[in-house]
Structure 1
Amino acid sequence: MSKETVLYVVIALLVGILGTVLVTGVANKQKTAPPAAGIPAGGGSPVDYQQRITEAEKIVAADPKNLQAWVQLGNDYFDTDQAKKAIDAYGKALELDPNNANVLTDQGIMFKRVGWFDRAIANFEKAQQLDPKHLQSLYNLGVIYMADLKQPAKAVKYWERYLELDPMSPNSQQIRLMLDEAKGMGQSSPPQGNVFSK
C-alpha cells in the first residue's frame, strides 16, 4: 500500500470519527433547552428514550402545534438512530418554525444518514442563510463534501469560513486538521478505488 493510500485511509478515519463527535453535539446542545411539558429531561438508557418517545408522541397527538415536543421527539429519534422518524418529526417542527437553524441542521444530518445528500445540503445551506454564523451547519457542509461527495475543495470553503467565525475553540483545532487534509487532497489526484467507503 502506498504512502498516499495510507494517508487517504487515515484521513477518512479521522473525518469519520470527528464527524461523529461533532455531529452528535448538535442534538446534545439542543437538549439543554427546557423540555416540553410532560417530557423528562436529560439522556439515559434505551428504556428512558422509549418512555420519552412515547410521552412525546402522546403530546404531539394531543397538541400537534407543540414545537418543543416535536423537536424533542426528533432529537430522541436522532439519538436512537431512527433517521426517517427523526426526519418526519423535525419536518413537523419546521412546519411550525421554518427558520430554526438548529432543527434544519439536525434534519440535514438525518438526511445525510439515509443518503439524501442534496436534501442535507439544502438544509445546511438554508441554516446558513438564516444564521450566517451557525457553526454546526458550516461544519456539516464540509463533512458532506469531504466524506460523502469527495469534493475536498468545497469542504475547504466551508471549513475556512468556520475558522473565520471560531478560530480558538477546541473544535477549531479539529477543523484545522481536517482542513489541512482536505487541502492536501485537493492538490493531488486521489488514489484509485473508493477509500472512503463504509
Structure 2
Amino acid sequence: MYIKTPKRYRRTPRRSIFSLRRFLLFVFTCIAIFVGIGIYENREMFPQVGEAVQQLWDNARESIATAAAPTPTPTPDPTLRINRANELWAQGLMEDALEIYEEILPSVPNDVVTHYRVTLGRLVNGDLDGALEMAEKTVTANPFSSDAWAIRALALEYNGRYGEGIASALHALELKEDNARALAFLAELYLDLNQTQRALDTVNQALEINPNSFEAYRIRGRIYQDGFFDLEAALADYEKAAELAPHIIYPSIDYALMESRLGNVEDAIDILDGILVTNPRNVQALFALGRIYYQDLGTYTRAADYFTRCVEADPDNIFCLYLLGRSQYNLEQFTAAAESFRRVIELGSQNGYHYYWAGNAQVTLGNCQAALTYLTPGYDIAIKSGDTSLISAFEDRLAVCQSPLGFPTSTPTPTPDPLSG
C-alpha cells in the first residue's frame, strides 16, 4: 500500500488584462491592410517590376553560364592577305606568296585556288611528300573540282605513283572533259610509262583546247626531249612555256637546263640567276645552277656555294648533299666531304655511287674501318646493278683497305660519273 504524498500548495497567478498575443495580431493586421491598399493603388506598376526582376534573373543566369568561358577571338578576314599573296604570285615571288598562302589555309578550307598553289609551290621547291599531302587537301576542299584532281595527278606523278596519277587525271577529265591542264598532266604520266606516242597525242589534244597552256608546252618539251630525243624541239617548247608563265618557276628551270645541255651555258646561268633573284631559296634552281658550275664549268667553289645554299633550304636533300660532297672532295676538303656523304647514306640512299664516295672519302682520310661500313654494302649494290666501272672502283678501294698497310697510298684513280644517282 502506497501513501500518496499531497502536492505542495501553489498560488494561482491572476489573469492579466493586457494580452501581448492580441496586440501583435492587431499590429500585423494593420500592416497587412496598409500594404494591401498600397499594392492596389500601384497595381499598374506590377508588369514593369516583373520585367525588371525577370531581366535581373536572366542576367544572373547568363553570367553563371559564361563565367568560365574565354573571351571569343574574332576571326580575321583573310581577303586582304589572299589578295596580297595573289599579287606576289603574279610577280613571280612564289616563296613570299606561299608563306602567306600557308598561313591563311585554316581560314579558307574550301578555297581550291589557294590549296592548288600551295601544292604546286611545294612541288616546285622539291617538297614531294608535302605536295602530295596538300594535293589530298585540295581535293577535300572541293571534291568536284577538276583542277583539284588534276594537281593531285601531278603530285602523284612527281612521287612516282603513275597508275594512281592516271586515275586521278582521268577523274579530273570526267568532271571537266575540256580541262587542258588535266590532259597535259595525263600526257606526262603516259611518258613516264614509256607510252611516248600516246603522250604526244594527248598533249597535242590539250593544246588544241588551250593554245596558251604553259603546262602543255612544258610537258611536250619533255616528250620531245626524253621520248623522241629532239632537243631543239624540246628547247622551243620549254621557251614557249617560260614565256607564257614567267611567274611560274619550273618551266624556266627546264628551259635553262636545256640551254645548258645544248652548250648555251651563259644563257642558262642568266635564266637561273633571274629565278634566284625573286626566289633565293628555291631548291631546284639552286641545284640546277650548282650542277652547271660543277659539271659544265668545273668551278667547284661556285658549285659548292650553290649546293650549300640548297642544303640550307632543304637539309634532307640527298642530291644537293651528294654533289656538295663531290665539290668539297674536289676542293680537297675531305673531312667536310666525308660528312656530306655520311648524311646522304644516313638519309636512306641506296645509290651505289653514293656509297662509293662515302667510303672513298674515309679511305682518303685514312679511316679504313669507317670506309668498310660503306664499301662493303655498296659493293653488293654495285654487283646487283651490273655497273662494271662502279664494281671496279669498289674493288680498288676494298683492296686498299684490306692491304697490310690498311690505308691509302694515293687518291683513287676511278672517277665514276659525277651525276649518277
After TM superposition, the score normalised by the length of structure 2 is 0.34
After superposition, residues 1-198 of structure 1 pair within 5 angstroms as 31-32=157-158, 36-39=181-184, 40-41=186-187, 42=189, 43-45=192-194, 48-61=195-208, 63-80=210-227, 81-184=229-332
Ranked by relative contact order (alpha carbons within 8 Å, sequence separation 6 or more), the top structure is 1
Distance 1:50 1:79, change over 3 A: same
* Count of aligned pairs between the two proteins: 158
Q: Deviations over 1:138-169 (max 9, x none)?
A: 11211111221122221122112112212233
Deviation at 1:75, TM superposition (A): 2.5
Q: Provide the residue aligned with 1:4 in structure 2.
A: none
Distance 1:157 1:169, change over 3 A: closer
Which amino acid in 2 is paired with 1:73?
Answer: R
CA distance in 1, matches of 2:288, 2:215: 23
Ranges in structure 2 where 5+ consecutive residues have no aligned partner: 1-125, 127-153, 159-164, 170-179, 334-416
SS of residue in 2 equivalent to 1:38: helix
After TM superposition, the score normalised by the length of structure 1 is 0.67
Distance 1:30 1:160, change over 3 A: farther
Structure number with larger C-alpha Rg: 2
Distance 1:55 1:137, change over 3 A: same
Paired residues of 2:253 and 2:272 also in contact (CA < 8 A):
yes
CA distance in 1, matches of 2:307, 2:257: 17
Paired residues of 2:238 and 2:255 also in contact (CA < 8 A):
yes
SS of residue in 2 equivalent to 1:141: helix
Paired residues of 1:155 and 1:182 also in contact (CA < 8 A):
no
Ranges in structure 1 where 5+ consecutive residues have no aligned partner: 1-24, 186-195
SS of residue in 1 equivalent to 2:298: coil
Q: How large is the Cα RMSD of the aligned pairs? A: 2.9
Which amino acid in 1 is paired with 2:212?
Answer: K
Distance 1:182 1:165, change over 3 A: farther
